[in-house]
């Protein structure tokens, strides 16, 4: 019997990486709250799930070859998650779509979810350790 | 939390907001500086923010910090005031006051300090998460 970390930790290791990237995106939204024309962005987690689905249309997984510079780029992906633009509740006059309260709520939510994933990993590791010790 | 990118992002925001706060201080400090000619009168200074484009195009780094592109002088007309007995008055008897709007500057100051606080919070949260990640499995 061999211990496979991927199997032991499940999806949480990937989730952790994705949460980290999302925290970066949300942080850059907050940082650019005063930048004229900046559009708030977010990672779409459900696009990762769709990509891992066995059947159905899988548009986000297609890799289109771009032979000319004026060819349209495929959707921007980060670790398999699609980068999306936020729809503002109240758009501001300078074209900035960052709403600090929304971004802060999302950031806090993401931090808690990061901690949740971390706890799952920690518990799995504790279980592995217990199994190894055989106490 | 491998490459501490989030620290760079929040740091760039804090830097930008502190530049803005400095300019507000300069504007308010000079709000009552009168001058004898239109050329030498103090003009309100404002920062120009822009997000870092190079990071926006980099898919490995989805976040982008904020850049202070530069500082521009406000194009609003300066205030001319007729004060013939003022020691700085020109030959027509006018002195010139800066185009600083103190109320606007105060609002600017509040906005800058709140944004700064936001960035500090982001930094603190990220630090907590990284410290917890380092303790993983213990």
DSSP bridge pairs for B94: B82
Q: How confident is the model at residue B55 (pLDDT cuts 50, 70, 90)?
A: low
Residue B25: predicted pLDDT: 95
Quote the pLDDT of residue A3. Answer: 67
Q: Dump pLDDT digits (tens) for B8-49.
A: 889 999 999 999 999 999 999 999 999 888 888 999 999 999
Whether B126 and A23 lie within 8 Å, measured CB to CB: yes
Three-state SS at B73: strand
The residue to which tokens 């982001």 are assigned? B122
Question: Which pLDDT does position B26 carry in this prediction?
Answer: 95
Work out the pLDDT band at B113, boundaries 50, 70, 90.
Answer: very high
Q: How far apart are CA B10 and CA B121, in angstroms?
A: 9
Any idea of the CA torsion for B10, B65, B101, B111, to the nearest 10 degrees?
A: -40
Distance from CA of A31 to the nearest CA of B (A): 5
| Burial readout A50-76 (b: 16 or more C-beta within 10 A, e: otherwise) | beeeeeeeeebeeeeeeeeeeeeeeee
pTM of the model: 0.79
The number of residues in chain A equals 135
* Residue given tokens 């977010």 in the structure block: A42
- Alpha helices by DSSP H, listed for chain B, are 5-29, 53-57, 102-134
Give the per-residue pLDDT at A47. Answer: 73
Distances (CA, A) of A89 to A37, A77, A133, B114: 16, 25, 54, 21
In angstroms, the separation between the Cα of residue A70 and the nearest Cα of chain B is: 16
Tell how far CA B57 is from the center of its chain: 26
Q: Which chain B residues contact residue A25 at CB under 8 A? A: 62-63
Q: Using a CB-CB distance cutoff of 8 angstroms, which residues of chain A are in contact with residue B117?
A: none
The reported pLDDT for the residue numbered B59 is 62
Q: What is the per-residue pLDDT across B64-102, written as a single tens digit (0 to 9) for each?
A: 888 889 999 998 888 899 999 999 898 899 999 999 999
- Distance CA(B43)–CA(B100), nearest Å, equals 7
- Is residue A75 within 8 angstroms of chain B, CB to CB? no
| Cα A120 to Cα B128: distance, rounded to the nearest angstrom | 17
For A:93-132, CB contacts with B below 8 A are: 100, 104, 107-108, 111, 114-115, 118, 121-122, 125-126, 129
Place of tokens 């990220």: B126
Closest among B116, B20, B27 to B68, alpha carbons compared: B20
| A122-131: average pLDDT | 88
């Amino acid at each position: 019997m061999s211990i496979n970390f991927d199997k032991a930790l499940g999806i949480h290791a990937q989730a952790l990486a994705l949460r980290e990237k999302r925290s970066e995106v949300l942080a850059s939204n907050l940082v650019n709250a005063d930048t004229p024309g900046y559009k708030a962005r977010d990672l779409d987690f459900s696009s990762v799930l769709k990509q891992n689905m066995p059947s159905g249309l899988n548009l986000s997984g297609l890799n289109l070859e771009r032979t000319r510079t004026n060819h349209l780029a495929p959707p921007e992906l980060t670790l398999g998650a699609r980068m999306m633009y936020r729809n503002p509740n109240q758009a501001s006059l300078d074209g900035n779509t960052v709403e600090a309260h929304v971004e802060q709520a999302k950031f806090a939510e993401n931090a808690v979810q990061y901690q949740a994933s971390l706890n799952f990993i920690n518990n799995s590791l504790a279980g592995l350790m217990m199994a190894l010790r055989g106490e | 939390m491998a490459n501490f990118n989030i620290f760079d992002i929040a740091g760039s925001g804090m830097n930008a907001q502190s530049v803005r706060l400095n300019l507000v201080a300069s504007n308010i400090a000079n709000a009552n500086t009168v001058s004898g000619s239109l050329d030498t009168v103090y003009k309100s200074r404002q920062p120009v923010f822009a997000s870092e484009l190079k990071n926006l195009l980099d898919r490995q780094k989805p976040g982008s910090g904020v850049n202070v592109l530069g500082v521009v002088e406000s194009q609003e007309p300066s205030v001319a005031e007729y004060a013939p007995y003022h020691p700085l008055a020109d030959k027509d008897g006018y002195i010139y006051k800066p185009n600083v709007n103190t109320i606007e500057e105060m609002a600017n100051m509040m906005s800058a300090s709140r944004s700064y606080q936001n960035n500090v919070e982001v930094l603190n949260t990220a630090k907590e998460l990284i410290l917890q990640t380092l303790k993983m499995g213990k």
